[in-house]
Every structure is written in C-alpha cells, then in structure tokens.
Structure 1
C-alpha cells in the first residue's frame, strides 16, 4: 500500500477528529456518537466508491481506507493501554478509595451479571453452544460511560456520583476483557459447556498476576524517573513506555491480565509520582497524557466504526431477534444492579445514595463502543473459532453497539432533560440571583472609577449608566424575591463556597511550591470531602469532614500494630511525617480563609452567616493546632525542622521570582539566567527533601532518654528496664478514667496525652509522667487521661514506683513540681519534701 495514501488517510482522520468536537457541541450529542457515525459513513462511502462505476478517481483512496491494517491487536495493544493509563493518572485515588464498594460492584459484579445474563438468555433462544453465548455476554458487558460522565459534569451532578462512574469505566474493561479471555479459550478448544466454577476460579489469578506486574513495573519506572529530575522530557518518555511494557509483560511473560497490569501501573504512578517528581514535570506529564488519550479515544472510535460494515456482512433476518435478546438481557442485568443491588448497598451504608433520576441516566448512558467492537473483531480473526460462531458473534456485538450509540447515545441528553437533571435546584437558583446582584453592584463601582480615570464624556457615561442601572434593578428585584432562603441553606451554600476557595488556595500554594505535591494530593482530598459533605450534610456534614481531616485513620492503627507487634517502624514513621507536613499545610491554608469570608461571603449571605462560618473556621484552626501540639510533644524538634524547610522553600521561590523579573527587565541575559536557575534547582532539590523521622527506639534506649532517671547508676537502670512494661496507644484512647483505682504510673516515651482535672486541662509530652498523684495520695484517680497522639508509654506498678522514688532525687523533684503545678501541698504527697518546699 502506498505510504503517501496511508499518511493522507490518517491525516484526514485527524481533520475529522478536529471537526467532531464542535459538531457534537452544536448538535448536543456525545462526541463518541459523532465519531462513530462519521466512521460508519466513511467506511460505507469507501465501499460504495470502490464498487460503483460512477468514478474510478477515488478508488485508490477507497482502497487505502478499506485496506488500513485495522486488527484487534491494534486496539488492544496500541490504543487500550493509552486510554486506561491516562484514566488512572487523572483520578483522585484517595477519594476513589472512599467509594470502593459501589465502584467494584458496578465494575466487577455488574460485568459478571451482564455476562451470565446475556449468555444464558442467548443459549435459551439460539443454537449456539453455551461457551459462545457467554463469550458474547463478556464482549457486550464492557461499557463506555464517557458520554454520561461528560453530561453529568456539564449539569453539575454530584462529584461523588461522577467519580463512581469514572471508577467503573476504569475497571469494567479489565473485568470484561479477563472474562473474554477465559471464554475465548473454551470456544477455541471446542468446549461447548464450560465449567463456570473453574473459569471464574482462574479470574482472581489473572487479576493478582496483572496487578503485581503493573506495580513492579511502575515502581521501577518511578525510581528511574526520579534519577532524571532535571530532564523532564526523559521522564515523560519513560511514562509513555510504562503502560505498554506492563501490558506486554503481563500478557506474554506472566500469562496474566495486561489490562489489570496497566491499571495497577497507572495507580502506582498516580500515588507515588507527585512525591518523587518536580511539580511542573508532573503537571506537564499529565497534559501530555491527556492529549495522547484524546487522540487515542477518537481514533479508536473512528477506526472501529470503519469495521462495522465488514462485521455486518452476512446478516440474516433471524439475527435481528438475537440482537433484540442481547439488548433486553443487557438492560435487565443493568437494572438488577442499579435498582436492586445498589440501593441495598445504600441501606447497608456501603454506598452513597444515588437518586433514582441519576440511576436512570446511568442506565441509559451505558454506551458500548470501540472495546466491544475490538473484542468482536478478535473473534472473527481467529482461525480456531468455528465460522458460524464468528459470524454470529460479530453481528450480535456490532448490532448491540449500534443500538447503544444510535438509540441511547442520541437520546441521552433528551433523557437528562426529561429527568430534570439539567436544572438548578431551588437553592442554587436563588443563590445565583443573589450572586448576580452582588456582582453587578461591584461592577458598577469599578466602572464608575474607570470612567473617572479615563475622563469619558458625561453623555456617554450617563446613557450607559442608565442601561446598566436597569439591569442592576432587575437583578436586585430578583434577589429580593429569593430572599426567603433559609439560614440553614445559606450556611450550606457558604460552606460550599468556603471549601471551594480553600481548594483554590491549595492549588495556588502548590504552584508557588509552598506546599509539596505529595501533600497537595492529601489536602486537596480533604477540601473535596468538605465540599461534598457540606453539599449533602450541611453544617453537620462539614464539621464531620473537618474532624476527619485531623483524625488518625485506620492506617495509623495498622502501622502502630506493625510497630508494636513486629517492630516494623518504617510505615509508622512515614505516616507520622506525612501527618506533620499535612497539618502544617492545613494551618497555612486555614489562615488565608478569613479574608474570603469577610470580602465575599458576607456580601452574599449576610453578617450572621459570615460570623457562623468564622466560628466554624476558628474551631478547625483550634483542632489543627491541638493535633500539631500533640505531635510536637511526641517528637520535639521535628516540627521545627519542617518549618525551617518551609522557610527555605519560600525563600527559594522568592529568589526565583526575582531572577525572572530581572530577566524580563533585561538586567541579566539568557545565559546568566540559565546558570542561576540551574544553581537554584540544585539548592531546591536539597531544600525539598523532607527530614527523616526516627521512631525506632528500644526499651533500654527509651528509659535512658528520661531526665527523671539521670541520677540512677547503671545496675539500677538495667533493673528498671526489666521492670517496665511497654504500651502503645492510639490518639483518642482513654488511658485513665476518673474514680478508677490507682495501681500504675505511666512514663511518656513518645507521644502526648491530655489530663482533665476539675475542669482544667494539661498536656504532657515526651519525658513526663502521670498517674503518680493518686498512688502517693492513696485515693482514687480524679483525672481523666486521653492520648492526643499515637504514644509509647512505659508502665510501672505501684510497688516498683515507690522503690524507685526512694532512689532517684530527680524523680522526687519531678513529683514535687507536679504537685505544685496542681496546687497540692508537696508535704502531703511526699512528707520528706516538705522542708524543701
């Protein structure tokens, strides 16, 4: 085939891609539907011109179009890794984890249900063997929800709902292709009635093998990319190679699922890349992948649509009845999941509530596309599949795909409008009127100042002011009509706006490199949770999300267990260091929000709402400060190191800005600027490295670090080390309760606790003790003690503590100081210390 013709055809396809997006916007249809329709027209037109006698001038072009080397392996090995890898890079994985149950249900359970439903329905009404019917079910079970996701975004659907659909789109291809591989093997081997238990039993092996392959490949790639910190194009090039090598390695070397390997590689890079790569390099890498995925998605739809006329050759009247069976069975399987299993998960509080209109939109938006056609093409290309099976599979898959694109795809936006999902809620509608009124008042003031500065003619100013005033009066009147919004709703809207501004502030600080990319992912997730919690739960939801942002999660409990039971301190040290940096970042961001409340929210929602938001913000600041105090008491000096690192990074950012200004003003040339920036980049790499947090201490080391035992001899210290018992506790654990018997004394080796006595509170940190007063006073405890950070405590029983007290003057002095602090007569605690008092 002439290379010039092939190049011309491919370049022309890019022209079609460029025209499809504005055409889809003008027609109000999903772009995938437009691309598929154009691909079908191109394929039909090429076949028509090749067979007609009207003209022979276009025959070379038609032959080039129909002769394009479009095979199933082109879709599976060239386009599919690109689409899956980019989808993983663009996801907020920390938020996806919150909704892993509904995502797995829609992506895995729904695929299995659709495969079985379609397969058994076909086996009842056709002469095809069960293996071939299940193969058809696996082919048509993969969905392309990009259309419904894009529409959900355009109508401001809940982010959580769009996120669930995106997660489904990522994983259902993997599940469907894995099932396709299983049943394709049965068909090629001539097994008419496969053992479903054995088939599904191999399914986890495919997933685990692919996941391990992708994880290892991504870890190796990230390590290599981190070595090329100054070579951004090299890092991007390695990222382009990663999904293809992971896919081929899993499929050819391991015998596992290549799709799962690509997904695992993308997830691993998404989680580790921001912390190992420079922020600008990571942003540019994401942009490159967005463009690659856009081209791949468009080309795969056009090229797959070119195959439709070929796949539909030999269609018979009876095949239309089978297509109808596939349509009904697929929709029924989707109905069972959306209107049966998903509401059940909501009742069990495993899934967010999905309102009925959105479930209908998800049902109707389950379009099939290029992946379905590619899998059908793989069946028709196989020499080991019977001819009749190839014909029927190709026709059924193609017919069902055409139905979803031409019927569901063209009517999806109409269904959205009929469901009322394209309209603002009454609260949002009222808010929009008030926002317009406030914005126009601000614009009028700015325009007045501008006209004064430019000394425009009074007649022009007066006429334009009149027109603008009429619009302002209309906006104010509309806002007054909406003034009946409840304060509760105003608070909710104010909290949503505040959390949104918090997110924008985080992004600004990341661009300035004040906050590291590693922390940006976490604090952005916190801001997203605040937005969604305020939208769904109002003030209480916002407060719950705010408490969660500073709380110790299950991960901390797991790492504490690993540290205490198995001596594995690495995960705990990493999470603790992350928490330090995260809290410092939160404190920095929260202090920037006061001005937004006063300048913007007060004007829209009034003084009362602004004051309440200020109070909620103050509580968040107090919670962050409390958490930081706990960590400072637990690891004194580490917070100071992080703050020094923040100052150094800020200084480097300001230095970079000065160099850029000098370059723009012509004070330094390009060569000097390049040299200065190279030196600055080297210093920045050193400054951005996070100091290491060491939490690995043995019991004898813990004992020896206490100043309370500094005057003990070596033999006594050794006996004391044997007498102590180590106890690890999590934040929030109650260590001592009021009125409980006094039997033990606690020494804080690391961590922090809070004592509450008669309405007063004290915080104790590393090197301090508690529980001694009740023992020495011989009465029940009057204090409640609660850990405010994961802590390591050394516990001593009463008898050993009293013996230790007689040997250590430093310990007696500490007891006396503690008694003074609490207003207790030292002579009452230790009579021997009364004269010293």
Structure 2
C-alpha cells in the first residue's frame, strides 16, 4: 500500500503551530521593529544593538516562563516563540540575499571601483587574515583540531559595519570613507561564507589538518562560478523586465525573484558561492537597469527594496538574537578563556590591517589616506551580528559534526558576538566623541556661523514684510522683533569672531556648494526625463569626484577632477584598441555616443550654474570668491565646448541629432506639465487626462531611442570633408572609404616612431599631432596628412609623431596611397605643398614620379 504523502518536517513544524499565535508573534515582531529605531535614537545606540537586545530579552523571557512554576498562562506564547522555524537556511536563503541585493542596488559602482584596493583589503584580505589569526590562536590555546579552529575563525571574521556607517553619515564623515566601509559590508560576507563552506567540508569529512593551500586554491573557483551565475541571471531578468514594458509591478516582481534564484542556482546547481551570485546579479542590474527601465519604475523598485531590506535586516537580528540564550545554555568556565582568545585574535587581525597594511598602501598611493581617528572608529565599529550567528547555527544543526564541536562553535561565536554588541556597540559613540569626529572642523564651524547670519538676515526681512501685510499688533511685533534681533546679533557676532576663514578655504567650500548644485540640476533633469537615466550614474560619479577633489585639494583638486572628467579612461582606451587592432567597433561606437550625450548635458547644466554663484554663493562667501568661481566655471564650460567640438569634427551631424532629441524630450515634458495643470484646474477630466498621458508615454518611448552612431557611415562623411579628395568621383570615394582604416589616438600617444619603416599615410580627420625631427617641431591639424614623405623618398621615418589632443586618423596603406596619388591632382598638389613647407627639394621626390607629375 502506497504511503500517504507527508509534508516536510519544516512545514509540519509551522503548520503545527496555532496560526493565530504565529500571526500575533509576527505582528509583535514588526511592532518591535517600528519601536526600535526611535528607541535607538533616544538612547544614542546603534540600531542593531537595540534589535539584538530585544531579541535576547524575548528569547530569555520565553525560556524563563516555560521553565518556571510561577505561571503557566504564558506557556503557549513561550512555546510558540521557541518553536519558531529559526534555521540557518532561513537566514542564508531568505534574509541574506535580500540584504545583499539591496546594498548592491544602492552602491555607486563606478565610484567604488576608484577605491577597489582598500575595499578588497578590508573585505577579503582582512577576512582571510582574521580567519587565520583566530584559527591558529585557538589551535594553540585549545585541543581543537586545526580545521575546527579555522572554521570558527571564518565564522567570526564577517563584520557588520552598518553601525559605524550610520554614525559616519550622521557626523558628515568623508564620503569616500563611508563608501569604503559600505564596500566592505558588501563583500566581506561573501568572503567569510566562502571560507566557511571550505572549512565546514573539512570538518564534516573528519579532516583534522586541512591543506591550507588546496583550500584557498578552491576559493577563486567559488567566486568565479558565483559571479558568472549572477551575471547571467541578471541579464535574463533585465531582458524580462524590458519585455514587460509599462507593467511596473511586473518588473518589480521580477527583481524580487532575481536574488533568490541567483543564490539557489549558484549554491545548488553550480556549486559556487550564492552570496557572490547575488552580489553580481545586483551590480549587473544596478548598471543596466536604469537604461532599460523608466526612471519612475526604477525609483519605485529601489524604494521597494529599501523597505524589504529594512524588514529583513531587523528580523534577522531579532530572530538570531532569540537563539543566543539557547546557544549559551551549556557554557562552562573554561569557555570564557577561549572567548577571550577569539576576541583578542580577531581585534589583533583587524589592527594589523588598519594600522599596518592600509597605511602601507597609502604610501604607495594604492589607497586613499584614512586618518588615524577614522581607523580607530572602523576598528571599534567592526560589530558582529546575524550572519555570524547564522553560520554558527548551521554548524550546530549538522548531524555530521561532533557534539562537542557543535557546542564550542555555538558558544564561541555567540560569546564573541555579544562582546562586540554589548562592549563595542554601546561605547562606539563615546569613542567617536573622544576622537573628536562628532565636532565640526574650525572652517566648517566658521562657515556655519556665517551661513546662519545670512539666513537670519533674510528671515528677518521676510518676517517684517509678513507682519506689515497682516497688520499684526505692534506690541507683539516689537517683542518678537527684539527677541529675533538678539539671536541675529549673536549669529553676526559669532560670524565676525570667525571671520579669519582663509580665501582658499572659502573657495574650496564654494566649489563644494557649486558641485552640489550641479548634482541637484542633474537629478532634476533625470526627473524631467530630459536626460537619459542610464547616463545619470556616470555624470553623478564625476560630480562626486569634483566634490571630493574640492574637499581634499581645494581649487587644484577641483580642477584636476574637472580635467579628468573630460579625459579618456581605461575602458575607452580598451574600446579604441579593439577598434584599431581587432576591427571590433561596437563598444567604441556605444561609448562615443555616450560621451556625446554626456558632454551635451554637461554643457547645458554648466551654463545654468552662473546664476547659483551670483544668487547664493556671493551672499555667503563674498564678491571675490564668487568672481573666482565664475572664472573656474567659465574654464570648465570652455573645456566641455572644446571636447564637444572635437567630437563634432569626428562625427559630423551626430551631435545635431542628439540636440534634436533633447528638444523633443523637453517639449514632451512641457506638454505633460500643461496637461497636469489643466487637470488640477478642472479644465479637463480624468479620462481625457489619462488618454493624453498615454499618448505622451508612447511618444516618449519612441524618443528614448538614441540615434545610432555608425562609425562606417561617419567615416564616409569624414572622407568627403577632406579637400585633397575633392576631385575624386563618387565611385572612387567609396573605394577609398573602404580602404581607409580609422585610428584613434589619445593625447600624448606616440603615433609614429622615429626610424620606423614607412608603410602607411595618415590623414588627420580631427585633432592635431606634433612632428619632432632634428630639433625642429611642426604641428599638423585637421585636413592635413603625414607619413607621405617617407614613402615617397623611400627612407625610414626621420620624425617622431605624437598626438597632442585626442585625434582621429584615417590610415591608408602604401600601395593604395601610390595608386591614389597617380590619379589625384589635388593630392599631388597637397604633397608638393607639404614638401615645400618642410624645406624638401622637389628633386628629392623624383623617385616617386611625383616631380614629373
């Protein structure tokens, strides 16, 4: 007889509980989540510490009421709390993907790549060092096998720096520092869980002393497999989300499924790191999502994930803390010594990284300088939390791990977590106050006083106008005016006492404010849909670099960042290499089109910032600073215009297509505003307004399609612009276009080496080059050529040629050049003129037959 189907044990576990009791407990947990945040703010403690404390109190209370004989009325509630299906898989498969995925959606990947060295040091190297430090220290202090000790080291090496990040934000710490800590929180869980999986396998197999080299050799395989799995899952999800078009809820639903499918696929199907798969999927969606989804849909998707992550983070802390009383039930006196060993070894490992390796990397300029007070704050803010407890729980649940090992793993992980939460968490703000990180710098304090004085003066004028308009009682007006005047006098006095702000500091603060206004203008254009959301992130990243450049280097730092924003990065140069050497033009075409649109947007935004300088900055920092900022802004505008003009010369007509697209976008936005105003005024009904909005959405979708940049077509247009090809007929021009090869040269790049054999001639489509030979220098620009003399004179090149600005060259090989020269009088005349300009005698060109021609 076939047996009746029975649900799995975990499902029976939940079904056996009274649904009313379970619902009540869940509702109560959400009530605690809501109360924990204001309580943490009132007590000035990290939010995670309050959640952990509440969880411990609930777990300890449930155990107490269940075992005491004082009352049996609360036994059902206590049993329900202790019977909650809290398993390690719940943390690792339900909560952890949510938290990691939300973080990846919010990070600025391009800015994080600027600091990839310190992030990897803290997230990967520090985890490995902590694992080894704790493992070997425990192996020395106890009789535990090395594999078990390294397993415990991996469990306690993962940090939860959310507390220190939140405090850094509240005290306006440098953005770069907060970004490094956020990057650590994103990757250290992945590194720790990957190491945990390796050593857990050794423990279950009974291998006491694992070969450390073999274990670490498997580490990259786990990382690479997870990264590929996450990338493929995200690409499929983005395709589905774009396919669903205007169905915003469907797109958000696909995003909710993505991290879980990536995690399960990597762990169960590929055998790789599920955490890395989630991180890779989130970063891929972060990079590609804004360009494939409408801005409103992307913003709503981010808000949904922020809420999910808030709930998941709070629940994971409370539920994990519920386990602490049970994990500590079998603690012994000798265990406290081992907890102390783990604590000292983990702190020592972090000290080595923060005060040894990071300063060394800063000396060789691989990492930004992290000041000593901030390093102390990072050290003391390395709290452990739910992930550590979840990994320890996974060990205690395994039937293949010895009982004593399970007991020690649970006690040591829990004891160390409690130390970080109770000791470090409760004193973190005090440490930061002692370090002076919660106080404004003298410059910021002086600026604050001056800003308050200017603001209060404006408020007094507005209040005076208001009292006159409303004809308020004179006695009341006088009393309030006196009271307000005393505050204003105090602010003015404080500003005068701090009037010693140096001009360079005022300029730096003004540049920071100017870059902030630029950022606000970009966000406003994204909201109005007059700028592509897909390009918003690189533009905002450049603005962040301007802010940090002004903050750290003042005027020079701002100028360096502005210059770098117009340069060609490594990615662009890689695309140029693919085009020049492999004839793969698609990446270069896409990046060039992006550069076109970014420069157009920057030009429009920069032109609007002059009013901000005159209207806001002048009132706070004075006329001299405002004039200097206007001068710096004018230089930026000129540099952007120059870069844009260079692209126009390279690709005639394409910039005009993008400008037409911008005008169409602006017109659609203005039309949408008019319909909204008519709807609010009651001039049109809701049904007509909906129809009009649908029509605008349809036209906007068509307008979002960016004109395609076809490098082959643009090359044909360039060829027609050269005067030396003016006498060629249409068929000859087509043949020449196919023969010419486009080459891009960055500023300073060596195009021709001295004494090299002549094999081709280069025509300058845009940009300029410099020829240096025998102590003499010539400069050639658009429409000119070089390399023809060496070919005609049949001698090695005597000149070294470098591009002095980003340039586009059209290269023609020697055989085709000679054939073209034979039938083109215009080209022959250009060659003679070039020879005369360089002082080359006509008879020197006789071997080529040019003199006779």
Residues 167/812 of structure 1: CA separation in 2 closer, same or farther (3 Å cut)? same
Return the offset for 1:16: 0.5
Return the offset for 1:732: 4.6
Tell me the secondary structure at the aligned position of residue 233 of structure 1. helix
Distance in 1, matches of 2:334 and 2:77, equals 35
Return the offset for 1:447: 1.7
2:398 maps to 382
1:278 maps to 294
Report if the CA contact (8 A) 2:111-2:541 is conserved. yes
Report if the CA contact (8 A) 1:101-1:351 is conserved. yes
Return the offset for 1:814: 6.9
Q: Map residues 639-678 of structure 1 onto 2, 5 A cutoff.
A: 639-678=655-694
1:789 maps to 806
Query: 1:753 and 2:768 equivalent?
Result: yes
Return the offset for 1:762: 8.6
Residues 329/264 of structure 1: CA separation in 2 closer, same or farther (3 Å cut)? same
Tell me the secondary structure at the aligned position of residue 793 of structure 1. strand
Return the offset for 1:726: 6.3
Segments of structure 2 that go 5 or more residues without pairing to the other structure are 1-16, 846-853
Q: Map residues 149-164 of structure 1 onto 2, 5 A cutoff.
A: 149-164=165-180
Return the offset for 1:663: 1.2
Tell me the secondary structure at the aligned position of residue 218 of structure 2. helix
Report if the CA contact (8 A) 1:569-1:696 is conserved. no
1:214 maps to 230
Distance in 2, matches of 1:673 and 1:63, equals 57
Return the offset for 1:239: 0.2
Tell me the secondary structure at the aligned position of residue 467 of structure 1. helix
1:620 maps to 636
Alignment RMSD, CA only?
A: 3.3
Return the offset for 1:698: 12
Return the offset for 1:450: 1.9
Return the offset for 1:730: 2.4
Residues 777/414 of structure 1: CA separation in 2 closer, same or farther (3 Å cut)? same
Report if the CA contact (8 A) 1:247-1:258 is conserved. yes
Tell me the secondary structure at the aligned position of residue 608 of structure 2. coil
Query: 1:165 and 2:186 equivalent?
Result: no
Distance in 2, matches of 1:315 and 1:441, equals 65
Residues 418/781 of structure 1: CA separation in 2 closer, same or farther (3 Å cut)? same
Tell me the secondary structure at the aligned position of residue 411 of structure 1. helix
Distance in 2, matches of 1:444 and 1:777, equals 81
Residue 436 (structure 1) aligned to one of 452, 465, 470:
452
1:688 maps to 704
Q: Map residues 167-566 of structure 1 onto 2, 5 A cutoff.
A: 167-566=183-582
Query: 1:769 and 2:784 equivalent?
Result: yes
How high is the TM-score relative to the length of structure 1? 0.92
Tell me the secondary structure at the aligned position of residue 151 of structure 1. helix
How high is the TM-score relative to the length of structure 2? 0.90
Report if the CA contact (8 A) 2:744-2:806 is conserved. no
Query: 1:82 and 2:81 equivalent?
Result: no
Distance in 1, matches of 2:583 and 2:717, equals 15
Return the offset for 1:761: 9.4
Residues 818/501 of structure 1: CA separation in 2 closer, same or farther (3 Å cut)? farther
Residue 112 (structure 2) aligned to one of 96, 100, 112:
96
Report if the CA contact (8 A) 1:742-1:781 is conserved. no
Report if the CA contact (8 A) 2:770-2:777 is conserved. no
Tell me the secondary structure at the aligned position of residue 693 of structure 2. helix
Query: 1:635 and 2:651 equivalent?
Result: yes
Tell me the secondary structure at the aligned position of residue 591 of structure 1. helix
Distance in 2, matches of 1:81 and 1:112, equals 22
Distance in 2, matches of 1:273 and 1:560, equals 26
Residues 601/713 of structure 1: CA separation in 2 closer, same or farther (3 Å cut)? closer
Stretch of structure 1 that moved more, 49-58 or 299-308: 49-58
Report if the CA contact (8 A) 2:328-2:414 is conserved. yes
Report if the CA contact (8 A) 2:758-2:791 is conserved. no
Report if the CA contact (8 A) 1:734-1:787 is conserved. no
Return the offset for 1:404: 0.3
Return the offset for 1:105: 0.6
Residues 6/726 of structure 1: CA separation in 2 closer, same or farther (3 Å cut)? closer
Return the offset for 1:717: 7.5
Residues 818/224 of structure 1: CA separation in 2 closer, same or farther (3 Å cut)? farther
> Which string of whole-angstrom CA distances, capped at 9 and with x for unpartnered residues, describes residues 33-73 of structure 1?
00000100001111111111222111111111011010000
Query: 1:580 and 2:580 equivalent?
Result: no
Segments of structure 1 that go 5 or more residues without pairing to the other structure are 831-837
Report if the CA contact (8 A) 1:221-1:238 is conserved. yes
Stretch of structure 1 that moved more, 695-704 or 514-523: 695-704
Return the offset for 1:190: 0.4
Distance in 1, matches of 2:60 and 2:473, equals 64
